[in-house]
Amino acid sequence: MTASTPIPLDLNNVQGDILAGLPKKTQTYFFFLIDDSRVQEFRKQLAHLVPLITTTAQVFKHHGAISQNKANAAGRGVPPPLLKISGVNVVFSNKGLAKMGITEDIGDEAFKGGMLADAKNLGDPGTANADTPDWVPAFKQGVDGMILVSGDSHDTVADTLADIERIFLVGAHSATIHEALRIVGDVRPGQEKGHEHFGFKDGISQPAISGVDAKVNPGQKIVSQGVTLLGREGDVTLPTVKGQNPEPIPRPPWALDGSFLAFRYLFQLVPEFHTFLKRNPIAGLAPDLGSELLGARFVGRWMSGAPIDLAPTHDDPNLGKDSSRNNNFHYANPDDPKTDDNTQERCPFAAHTRKTNPRADLEDPPFSANIDNRRIIRRGIQFGPEVSAAEAASGKSAQGRGLLFAAYQSNIVQGFQFLQQSWADNPTFPPKGPQNDLVVGLDPIIGQDAGGARSMIGTNPSSQSTSLTLPTWVVPKGGEYFFSPSIPALKETFALA
């Protein structure tokens, strides 16, 4: 098991997507199965993949090169050219580890069970009266691992992935891995860059990692390295009884500086979402503003990224793009006489951003809870085409689009699984009312109920107790829990000489 005092963190040992995020205009998720008859050959070939793996140290250098490229172009008064950059990471499911003969207990029950077994707990469609969710076949059958390839263009990614396929002889009779599924994600074009398909600016409230992130914006929470990396300070089991102390989680030595990845294949019904907003504007406002405000109160932010806790009635694009202000709020406004802890005047209790990061709702009295170990690092990307004119006119999705949700943490049970099941899907979270049991509803964006019953209160600030019935706009179609090993673990434990 890991030592109580590990060696200092070396960013050359950590896969690059975890702490820094692989630079990307496009990404390909290559899900694979290890050939049952060629496991040892695969592990030998894995040694040839390791030099291609992009580390966190390399990613920070890539980010620096991109920033310098932009600065140079700005100095010349021209748009910056795209730098040819690619990145590669590899992750494995528990099924994949077992196939390779790596069977030590890694210390996470959700990972060991896999996401398919967890689908009912997550509320995925199809699990209300059965154990099997409505997922695409590849994820129902299970995958052994995934190779993530990022780059500045489809050509760059295709070239890099072709090199990787040659290592494992993919497509040949003697292939050691077989493609189970390939999904391509792309950053949205033009002004929609950085916005998810519903149109809202995303990725604003990431935590900062202590000793890793040099710049910390106002309101950004600094968390211990062990919230994301196994074996580091903060990689602990949270106490279940008040007064208990957190306990370090026993891990195999090779698990140090690895991280768990929760991947979700999420389809978004974008025309349907916007049709609902248009048909249900908040009363008392011009229809367009009423619809826009309803969407903002669903998400907790305006499409610009401005938080409604700071801009409760109108969008403020300057606030949305200002990293020194757009995350500096707490759902506690002592200077506003119209709002306190028990009102939804500014932000509904069930708003997406509040459900997934409740801030004052748990961190302030009476709970005064430390929720650092609930934080996850999100690295997803959008997939699918932009909404067509015909789809917008009909209000019906004709093509698949959505989010390749990817989140890293050191503990899936305390991280993603808890956020989805105990917060987003829990109609009485955050705890409100005299007995902390007020039914506030599900997260209107990602909250799942396998039976299809979704609602929330607080959408109208003038009628806060009124419940609004909600269709489902985010549909999970698969996913898996993976482990992202450190570079030393890949060399010394996973690969064979």
Residues in the chain: 497
Phi, psi dihedral angles at 47 (to 5 degrees)? -60, -25
Q: What is the Cα–Cα distance from 99 to 103, expressed in whole angstroms?
A: 9
Kindly list the distances between the CA atom of residue 431 and the CA atoms of 225, 239, 270, 294, 422, in Å, as whole numbers in the listed order: 29, 19, 30, 23, 11
User: Number of helices (H) and strands (E), helices first, in the chain?
Assistant: 16, 15
What's the gap between Cα 74 and its chain centre? 32
Catalytic residue among 17, 108, 118, 202: 202
The answer to whether residues 425 and 306 touch, using CB atoms and an 8 Å cutoff, is no
Strands 402-409 and 377-378 turn out to be antiparallel
The answer to whether residues 25 and 190 touch, using CB atoms and an 8 Å cutoff, is no
The answer to whether residues 38 and 171 touch, using CB atoms and an 8 Å cutoff, is no
Which amino acid does the sequence have at 51? P
Measuring CA to CA, which residue among 260, 229, 270 is closest to residue 384? Answer: 270
Tokens representing 487?
């570079």
Active site includes 202? yes
Unique residue bearing structure tokens 């119209």: 338
The answer to whether residues 272 and 471 touch, using CB atoms and an 8 Å cutoff, is yes
Tokens representing 363?
């961190």
Q: What is the Cα–Cα distance from 397 to 392, expressed in whole angstroms?
A: 8
Number of Cβ atoms within 10 Å of the Cβ of 221: 17
Helix (H) or strand (E) holding 291: helix 287-299
Active-site residue list: 202
